Amino acid sequence: MLPLRRRSGFVFQGRLFDSLSVFENVAYPLREHTRLSLREITDRVHHFLDLVGLPDTDDLLPPS
C-alpha cells in the first residue's frame, strides 16, 4: 500500500503551510518523497497548478 500512497496525495483546504508559497506547498511532497530533479518538480507543479486553474500563482502565500 505504501508505494500507492507515495504516488498520490492531496492537500486539505486551509491546511497549507502559511510560511511557504503556493509553489513550495505543492512541491513539498515531491521534494520529500521522490528523487525528481528541480526541473521535473517545477514542471509538475506548474502542470498541477494549471489543472486546477491557478497558473502564475507560484509566489503567492496562502491566507493565514
Q: What pLDDT, on a 0 to 100 scale, did the predictor assign at position 14?
A: 58
| Set of cell numbers at residue 18 | 502559511
Q: What pLDDT, on a 0 to 100 scale, did the predictor assign at position 11?
A: 60
Full domain range(s) for residue 22:
18-55
* Residue 37 counted as domain residue: yes
* Residue 28 counted as domain residue: yes
Average pLDDT over residues 5-18: 72
| Set of cell numbers at residue 13 | 483546504
| Set of cell numbers at residue 12 | 486539505
Question: How many structural domains comprise the chain?
Answer: 1
* Residue 33 counted as domain residue: yes
Which residue has 500500500 as its cell numbers? 1
* Residue 25 counted as domain residue: yes
pLDDT tens figures, 15-60: 788 899 999 999 998 998 899 999 999 999 999 999 999 999 999 9
Give the C-alpha separation, 23 to 17, whole Å.
11
* Residue 36 counted as domain residue: yes
Confidence of residue 13 (pLDDT cuts 50, 70, 90): low
* Residue 64 counted as domain residue: no
Give the C-alpha separation, 10 to 22, whole Å.
14
Q: What pLDDT, on a 0 to 100 scale, did the predictor assign at position 42?
A: 98
